[in-house]
């Protein structure tokens, strides 16, 4: 029989773990459906509505100015011929693009491991333009995109592990209702959930903060391409982190507190204590004669000694009588 106090003790970390899983799933599903709710959970947004090549075309002299002019021409061609969108939003497993107010009308198929490659998505690769953009792109932009590619793949893996660890915490947490050993095993999964959820949130925040700075420095002034944060996804992932870390703390407390044994379990301490309290009410042998000799009562009414006639021998004792003086 499950102890009610144990159930109450497990309820808090169990609820926190479920809340953490909900937040992680929302981040994971961003950009996966034609729903404004989950599609608002983007890490970064690129605004190409004010795209222009005027600044790069006005640059004169030097290989850097020439490269910017060629890159601006490639972007202009992509904008006119390859249906480059006005807006792009970047998610954990994909991206969405649209023109005007037709939000999220064109979203990519979700991938387990994803990074937003503007060169390929905007049709600027050598197969389309015949240009080697690795030589045309500014060094800082090339380095930033390369770092973003590597770290974003690691971020995807971290989030996937966080979701799996959180889901396993919920499943294993059922055993914690019955014993502290179950809480110990659950705490191990909860610790993994908290660590990987925290890691995913830190990586995502740092990664897109860096990417935003690089893209704005290299593309905003020259081409009018502005990059911004998606605040809702960061709020969601950090709330999920708070839930996951708090859940791990309370799972750890459940190892030390609130025994899972029922007081009616014969092996429990409560049951042994109950039996000890009942001991004074059990049968105990009394002295003979009862209460000892009292006053003149020292001689039995019938002589039960070996010397008494067999006719006087009884099978039970009789009350005592006063001695004869």
Q: Residue 298: inside a domain, yes or no? A: no
Q: Residue 289: inside a domain, yes or no? A: no
Q: Are 236 and 23 in contact (CB under 8 A)?
A: yes
* Domain total in the chain: 1
Q: Peptide bond before 289: cis, by omega within 30 degrees of 0?
A: yes
Q: What is the pLDDT of residue 247?
A: 92
State whether the Cα torsion 175-181-183-186 is positive or negative.
negative
Q: What is the pLDDT of residue 10?
A: 81
Q: Residue 281: inside a domain, yes or no? A: no
Q: Residue 286: inside a domain, yes or no? A: no
- In tens digits, the chain (325 residues) has pLDDT values of 556 666 777 888 899 999 999 999 999 999 887 677 788 999 999 998 887 766 555 444 444 555 566 666 667 766 666 667 889 999 999 999 888 877 888 888 889 899 998 888 877 765 555 555 666 677 788 888 889 999 999 999 999 999 999 999 999 988 777 777 877 888 899 999 999 999 999 999 999 999 999 889 888 887 888 999 889 999 999 999 999 999 989 888 877 776 555 444 555 555 455 454 555 555 555 555 555 555 555 555 555 555 555 555 555 555 555 555 5
- Structural tokens at position 273: 């204590």
* Domain hosting residue 166, numbered range: 4-256
Q: Residue 294: inside a domain, yes or no? A: no
Q: What is the pLDDT of residue 173?
A: 83
Q: Residue 230: inside a domain, yes or no? A: yes
Q: What is the pLDDT of residue 60?
A: 41
CA distance 216 to 44: 12
Q: Residue 306: inside a domain, yes or no? A: no
Burial 204-235 (b: 16+ CB within 10 A, else e): bbebbeebbebbeebbeebbbbbbeebeebbe
**pTM score, two decimals?**
0.72
Sheet architecture: strand order including 226-229: 106-107, 95-98, 87-90, 44-47, 226-229
CA distance 90 to 95: 5
Q: What is the pLDDT of residue 29?
A: 92
- Candidates 237, 232, 238; CA nearest to 41 is 232
Q: What is the pLDDT of residue 49?
A: 87
- Candidates 239, 205, 162; CA nearest to 43 is 205
Q: Residue 237: inside a domain, yes or no? A: yes
Q: What is the pLDDT of residue 202?
A: 96
H/E/C letters for each residue in the chain?
CCCHHHHHHHHHHHHHHHHHHHHHHHHHHCCCCCCHHHHCCCCEEEECCCCCCHHHHCCCCHHHHHHHHHHHHHHHHHHHHCCCCCEEEECCCCEEEECCCCCCCEECCCCCCCCCCHHHHCCCCHHHHCCCHHHHCCHHHHHHHHHHHHHHHHHHHHHHHHHHHHHHHHHHHCHHHCCHHHHHHHHHHHHHHHHHHHHHHHHHHHHHHHHHHHHHHHHHHHHCCEEEECHHHHHHHHHHHHHHHHHHHHHHHHHHCCCCCCCCCCCCHHHHHHHHHHHHHCCCCCCCCCCCCECCEEEECCCCCCCCCHHHCCCCCCCEEECCC
């Amino acid at each position: 029989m499950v102890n009610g106090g144990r159930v109450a003790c497990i309820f808090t970390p169990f609820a926190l773990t479920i809340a953490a899983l909900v937040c992680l799933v929302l981040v994971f599903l961003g950009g996966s459906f034609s729903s404004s709710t989950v599609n608002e959970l983007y890490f970064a947004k690129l605004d190409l509505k004010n795209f222009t090549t005027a600044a790069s075309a006005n640059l004169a002299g030097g290989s850097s100015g020439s490269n910017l002019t060629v890159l601006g021409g490639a972007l202009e061609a992509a904008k006119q011929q390859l249906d480059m969108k006005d807006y792009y939003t970047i998610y954990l497993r994909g991206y969405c693009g649209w023109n005007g107010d037709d939000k999220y009308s064109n979203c990519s198929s979700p991938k387990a491991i994803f990074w937003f490659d503007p060169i390929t998505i905007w049709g600027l690769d050598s197969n389309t333009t015949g240009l080697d953009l690795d030589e045309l792109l500014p060094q800082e932009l090339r380095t930033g995109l390369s770092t973003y590619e590597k770290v974003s793949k690691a971020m995807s893996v971290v989030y996937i592990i966080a979701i799996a660890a959180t889901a396993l915490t919920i499943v294993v947490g059922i055993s914690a209702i019955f014993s502290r050993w179950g809480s110990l095993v659950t705490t191990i999964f909860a610790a993994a959930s908290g660590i990987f959820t925290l890691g995913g949130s830190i990586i995502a925040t740092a990664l897109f903060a860096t990417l935003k700075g690089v893209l704005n420095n290299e593309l905003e002034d020259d081409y009018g391409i502005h990059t911004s944060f998606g605040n809702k996804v960061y709020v969601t992932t950090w709330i999920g982190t708070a839930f996951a870390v708090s859940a791990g703390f309370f799972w750890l407390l459940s190892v030390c507190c609130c025994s899972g044994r029922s007081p009616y379990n014969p092996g429990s301490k409560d049951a042994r204590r109950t039996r000890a309290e009942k001991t004074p009410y059990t049968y105990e042998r009394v002295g003979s004669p009862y209460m000892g000799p009292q006053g003149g009562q020292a001689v039995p009414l019938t002589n039960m000694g070996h010397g008494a006639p067999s006719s006087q021998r009884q099978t039970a004792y009789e009350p005592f009588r006063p001695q004869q003086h």
